[in-house]
């Protein structure tokens, strides 16, 4: 009977999924707290002048200290009090403030959930010193000014607390960048049970129902909300995950952006509906500044956005008493944040540039550690590779077709009846043997491990969950929370509990598999409200699921990451997740879930991955080919081309789709796919270096153009092309039958096409004619890009291959520079014994030099790696000769028409400092290119 019900349900569910059924997911109007906050906002706007319902800081309660101040916030209407802390945070630039609002512990009916240090924030977020002044406006203002001794940068950052009405403004160089609660939308619902049956519950204050699911709300509502405005900014970005444009749209009159991790099959595009993951971080950017607001709250959150070019100067006018340089622009973006529970923990990031703001966010939530190199190569996945024969056949076919790949993936069907950590012994009689065969070719295996556990009393792992204090509990009877997922009736380990995470990590010890794919971590519960867990389900320490929802999946992949370290302590872990939260970048790569095999979804993959990239989720990508539905060969080629230049590059397809491995296509399509994959492999040294740099300071690997061209306003709404690091620019073809493509090249730069080396000046849109194999990839003049040009079967086979350096010259100064990072590609020795090589190449005045930023005998392979070719692009005249470091003369060819100079076999060791000189024919001996 149980199975009958389950399959019946599955059938309905699958048929619902032909395209998303919006009615399965709440609108703001159907979500009690969202509705109440919006209503409150409207009322506040109307009452703005009379100051009703406004919070005020009680002057007598203020206690200042070295890093900030603490005080009581009082609701003028009800007299209720909240505790407030405003302090500076010790991020790398020192230009970050933190505003925290909570209830006083001794006054609260129930404590409010906050993620533990190390869950979303890094473990050691500390405060930093400020100077405090409150002489202005009769003591109604407290000015916190960064105080950092020699760090003059930080000294230009200020936070200004206005007591009555409560408001906080953040300024950089006396220019206001962020204004908090300037619209008095701070709203705080104190836990309370329904007083009696007659109490008005029309807006779902005490309990709620959605599509037959009752949320008992045993503690009543506890939502929080506030407005955050960005004076001087018209463009805001962030708050993934949404299938929408990169620049956020105005939500006035429509739905707010929703952050609530949900399993949405075949999601709709151009829509603020919630998807699988959430990062509650917004960046505002203008030609002058970048500002960020990180709303550190893991419960369901809705965000309204409204931007205008001209605000009439309203916000800064309030502060003119001490604002010396008002915003250079009248633009204004207002955001309104509404969370179902928890505290207000708001980080305010002030920066001149996007990269400066990203560094601050990286100080708070960490960066993506350098991934093993195989994981930034090409991945082959499908639901499912049927058995061992199938796996080995696919593997062999890559070799036979001379197509490199690094990783093959196994989806849920490889398990024994969807019992994760097990294998179906008929299909995979010898998993270790299969793994060894793949490894012998330098290839890897990833298996799926979902967080739902099949209820099977005969299965030892389930028994451990059932009998240990491990699973999430039902609010009704404190029994195990039961729901439906792939295995049928299932339970969910309570990853909020650190002991459970430890238990999970240990389950990896004896698991025969290598790397991990965590799917369904939203968590996906097929028969739950909105396909997820009931909000009143109970977690560790009595927390309700509503309080931790968006964090759950992040703690699943964090525990899996730890599991890989338990199993193989010397190896860099690799985990892919669909559900994520702020900080997920530290322990997982992310993919954008169940997209569809159509052109619109291909197009949408670019803004979606960009939005992840700028909010810290550096290592991300979309299913190449489109997960859902069959793809036609042209679309597949274009998708491979797009995916080959996104950080995470994996083909994947739904169970019901036709097989689409590249060799199944006609020759022209297969060849086009092969060359896109090969291009990815040649660029691995450059990409790996970008990942290394990103691990150090949080810069995105894939970036919107405005990140590196912050003053070029033409790029602010652009999300159909992108940069990879500073030196590569790419626009994928996303139209069927395209024969031409327009590409915008940013101002004050010069670019060369990767295939013809034709040069173009920036600040213009160029039109290219395109064939099926065309990839509109450009190299930046001023960059030096390291490649490995010998085709191999996998990245492991390239480990000691020689390097080609492409030196791009152009513009007036004719200088170029670039980095190269190399290590063994898989171990942790780059961390534990600094076993890596970091070279910095510089070209100026005819000399190309290699300077070793770091080298170590512990990375032994470095001595075997040579530069086998130097390609100089944009060389104006043929040099008279090329002088190698040993004084010998280099062998070269020069093509005047394409201005290309190629020096063959210079035989330069990467691990040694050297200089190569290009000698000009001119009498002065001065090199002029």
Q: Return the number of other C-beta atoms located less than 10 Å from residue 566's C-beta.
A: 17
Which residue stretches of 252-311 are H helix?
none
Instruction: Identify the CA nearest to 804 among candidates 817, 792, 824, 820.
Output: 820
Please give the residue whose beta carbon sits closest to ligand NOJ in the complex: 383
Provide, rounded to whole angstroms, the least separation between the CB of residue 526 and ligand NOJ: 11
Cα–Cα distance list, 835 to 425, 499, 698, 812, 914 (Å): 40, 33, 21, 38, 21
Provide, rounded to whole angstroms, the least separation between the CB of residue 524 and ligand NOJ: 8
- In degrees rounded to 5, what are phi and psi of residue 888? -70, 170
Encoded one letter per residue, x for contact with ligand NOJ by CB under 6 A and - for no contact, window 731-750 reads: --------------------
Asked if 706 contacts 614 with a C-beta cutoff of 8 angstroms, the reply is no
Closest to ligand NOJ by CB, 593 vs 783, is 593
Cα 552 from Cα 278, distance rounded (Å): 11
Which residue stretches of 213-265 are H helix?
none
Answer positive or negative: Cα dihedral of 198, 203, 209, 214. Answer: negative
Provide, rounded to whole angstroms, the least separation between the CB of residue 762 and ligand NOJ: 39
Site for ligand NOJ in 528-587 (CB under 6 A): 578
> Is residue 412 a contact residue for ligand NOJ (CB under 6 A)?
yes
Contacts of 595 (CB under 8 A, 6+ apart): 267, 601, 604, 605, 622, 623, 626, 627, 628
Asked if 558 contacts 548 with a C-beta cutoff of 8 angstroms, the reply is no
Locate 346 and state its tokens: 């708001």
Query: Catalytic residue at 519?
Result: yes
User: How far from the centroid of its chain's Cα atoms is residue 19's Cα?
Assistant: 26
Cα 65 from Cα 82, distance rounded (Å): 19
Element (H, E) at 784: strand 784-787
User: How far from the centroid of its chain's Cα atoms is residue 513's Cα?
Assistant: 26
Provide, rounded to whole angstroms, the least separation between the CB of residue 651 and ligand NOJ: 11
Closest to ligand NOJ by CB, 295 vs 627, is 627
Cα 225 from Cα 237, distance rounded (Å): 20
Burial class (CB in 10 A: 0-12, 13-18, 19+), 59: middle
Closest to ligand NOJ by CB, 236 vs 408, is 408
Q: Which of 519, 547, 661, 868 binds ligand NOJ (CB under 6 A)?
A: 519
Asked if 30 contacts 210 with a C-beta cutoff of 8 angstroms, the reply is yes
Closest to ligand NOJ by CB, 518 vs 850, is 518
Give the 3-state secondary structure of residue 292: strand
Closest to ligand NOJ by CB, 160 vs 513, is 513
Burial class (CB in 10 A: 0-12, 13-18, 19+), 694: buried
Query: Which of 395, 494, 519, 727 is labelled catalytic?
Result: 519
Closest to ligand NOJ by CB, 405 vs 526, is 526
Closest to ligand NOJ by CB, 30 vs 630, is 630
Provide, rounded to whole angstroms, the least separation between the CB of residue 262 and ligand NOJ: 12
Cα 424 from Cα 178, distance rounded (Å): 56
Provide, rounded to whole angstroms, the least separation between the CB of residue 411 and ligand NOJ: 5
Provide, rounded to whole angstroms, the least separation between the CB of residue 343 and ligand NOJ: 32
Site for ligand NOJ in 576-615 (CB under 6 A): 578, 593-594
Locate 334 and state its tokens: 């207002």
Closest to ligand NOJ by CB, 338 vs 412, is 412
Closest to ligand NOJ by CB, 619 vs 779, is 619
Query: Which of 304, 424, 594, 623 is labelled catalytic?
Result: 594
Provide, rounded to whole angstroms, the least separation between the CB of residue 577 and ligand NOJ: 11
| Count of residues in contact with ligand NOJ, rule CB under 6 A | 10
Answer positive or negative: Cα dihedral of 276, 282, 287, 289. Answer: negative
Provide, rounded to whole angstroms, the least separation between the CB of residue 413 and ligand NOJ: 8
Answer positive or negative: Cα dihedral of 438, 442, 443, 449. Answer: positive
Site for ligand NOJ in 619-678 (CB under 6 A): 627, 652
Asked if 644 contacts 722 with a C-beta cutoff of 8 angstroms, the reply is no
Per CB under 6 A, residues contacting ligand NOJ are 383, 411-412, 448, 519, 578, 593-594, 627, 652
**What are the residue numbers of the active site?**
519, 594
């Amino acid at each position: 009977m149980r199975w009958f019900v389950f399959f019946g349900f599955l059938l309905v569910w699958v048929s619902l999924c032909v395209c998303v059924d919006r009615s399965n997911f709440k609108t703001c109007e159907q979500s009690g707290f969202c509705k109440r906050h919006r209503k409150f906002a409207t009322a506040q706007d109307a009452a703005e002048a009379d100051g009703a319902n406004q919070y005020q800081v009680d002057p007598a309660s203020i206690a200042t200290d070295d890093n900030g101040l603490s005080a009581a916030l009082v609701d003028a209407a009800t007299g209720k009090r909240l505790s407030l802390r405003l302090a500076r945070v010790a991020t790398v630039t020192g230009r970050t403030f933190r505003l925290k609002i909570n209830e006083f512990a001794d006054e609260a009916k129930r404590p409010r959930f906050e993620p533990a240090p190390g869950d979303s924030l890094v473990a050691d977020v500390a405060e930093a010193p400020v100077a405090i002044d409150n002489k202005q406006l009769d003591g109604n203002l407290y000015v916190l000014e960064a105080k950092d001794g020699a760090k003059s940068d930080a000294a230009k950052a200020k936070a200004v607390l206005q007591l009555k009405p409560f408001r906080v403004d953040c300024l950089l160089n006396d220019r206001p960048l962020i204004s908090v609660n300037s619209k008095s939308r701070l709203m705080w619902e104190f836990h309370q049970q329904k007083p009696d049956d007659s109490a008005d519950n029309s807006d779902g204050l005490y309990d709620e129902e959605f599509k037959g699911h009752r949320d008992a709300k045993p503690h009543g509502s506890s939502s929080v909300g506030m407005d955050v405005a960005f004076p001087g900014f018209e463009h805001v970005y962030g708050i993934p995950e949404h299938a929408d444009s990169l620049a956020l749209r105005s939500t006035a009159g429509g739905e707010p952006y929703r952050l609530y991790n949900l399993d949405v099959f075949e999601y709709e595009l151009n829509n603020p509906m919630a998807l699988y993951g959430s990062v509650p971080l917004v960046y505002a950017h203008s030609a002058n500044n970048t500002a960020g607001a990180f709303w550190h709250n893991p419960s369901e959150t809705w965000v309204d956005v409204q931007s205008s070019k001209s605000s009439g100067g309203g916000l800064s006018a309030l502060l003119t008493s001490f604002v010396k340089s008002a915003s250079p622009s009248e633009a204004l973006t207002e955001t309104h944040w509404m969370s179902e529970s928890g505290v207000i923990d708001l980080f305010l990031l002030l920066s001149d540039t996007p990269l400066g703001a990203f560094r601050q966010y990286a100080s708070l939530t960490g960066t993506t550690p350098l991934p093993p190199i195989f994981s930034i190569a090409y991945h082959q996945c499908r639901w499912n590779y049927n058995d061992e024969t199938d796996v080995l056949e696919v593997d062999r076919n890559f070799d036979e077709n001379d197509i490199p790949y690094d990783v093959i993936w196994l989806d849920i069907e490889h398990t024994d009846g969807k019992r994760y950590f097990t294998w179906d012994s008929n299909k995979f009689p010898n998993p270790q043997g299969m793994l060894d065969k793949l490894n012998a070719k330098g290839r890897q295996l990833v298996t799926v491990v979902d967080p739902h556990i099949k209820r099977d009393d005969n299965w030892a792992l389930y028994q451990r969950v059932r009998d240990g204090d491990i699973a999430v509990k039902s609010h009704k009877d404190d029994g195990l929370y039961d729901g439906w997922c792939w295995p049928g009736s299932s339970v969910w380990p309570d990853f909020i509990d650190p002991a459970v995470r430890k238990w999970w990590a240990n389950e990896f010890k004896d698991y025969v598999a290598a790397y991990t794919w965590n799917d369904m971590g939203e968590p996906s519960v097929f028969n739950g409200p909105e396909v997820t867990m009931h909000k009143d389900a109970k977690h560790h320490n009595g927390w309700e699921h509503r309080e931790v929802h968006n964090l759950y999946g992040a703690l699943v992949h964090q525990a899996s990451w730890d599991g890989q370290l338990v199993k193989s302590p010397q190896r860099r872990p690799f985990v892919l997740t669909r559900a994520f939260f702020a900080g997920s970048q530290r322990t997982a790569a992310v993919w954008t879930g169940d997209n569809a095999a159509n052109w619109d979804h291909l197009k949408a993959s670019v803004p979606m991955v960009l939005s992840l990239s700028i909010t810290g989720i550096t290592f991300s990508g979309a299913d190449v080919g489109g997960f859902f539905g069959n793809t036609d060969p042209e679309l597949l080629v274009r998708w491979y081309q797009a995916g080959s230049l996104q950080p995470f590059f994996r083909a994947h397809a739904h169970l019901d789709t036709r097989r689409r491995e590249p060799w199944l296509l006609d020759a022209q399509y297969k060849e086009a796919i092969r060359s896109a994959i090969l291009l990815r492999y040649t660029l691995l040294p450059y990409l790996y270096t970008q990942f290394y740099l990103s691990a150090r300071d949080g810069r995105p690997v894939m970036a919107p153009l405005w990140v590196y061209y912050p003053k070029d306003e033409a790029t602010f709404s652009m999300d159909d092309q992108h940069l990879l690091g500073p030196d590569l620019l790419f626009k994928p073809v996303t139209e069927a039958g395209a024969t031409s493509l327009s590409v915008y090249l940013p101002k004050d730069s010069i670019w060369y096409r990767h295939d013809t080396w034709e040069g173009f000046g920036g600040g213009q849109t160029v039109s290219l004619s395109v064939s099926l194999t065309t990839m509109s990839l450009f190299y930046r003049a001023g960059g030096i890009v390291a490649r490995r040009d010998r085709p191999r079967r996998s990245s492991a086979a390239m480990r000691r291959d020689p390097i080609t350096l492409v030196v791009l010259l152009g513009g007036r100064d004719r200088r170029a520079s670039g980095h190269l990072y190399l290590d063994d590609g898989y171990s942790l020795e780059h961390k534990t014994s600094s076993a890596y090589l970091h070279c910095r190449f510089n070209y100026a005045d005819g000399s190309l030099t290699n300077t070793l930023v770091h080298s170590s005998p512990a990375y032994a392979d470095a001595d075997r790696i040579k530069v086998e070719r130097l390609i100089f692009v944009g060389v104006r005249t043929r040099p008279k000769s090329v002088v190698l470091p040993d004084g010998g003369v280099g062998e070269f060819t020069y093509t005047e028409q394409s201005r290309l100079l190629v020096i063959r076999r210079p035989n330069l060791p990467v691990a040694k400092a050297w200089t190569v000189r290009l000698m000009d024919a001119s009498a002065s001996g001065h090199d002029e290119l």
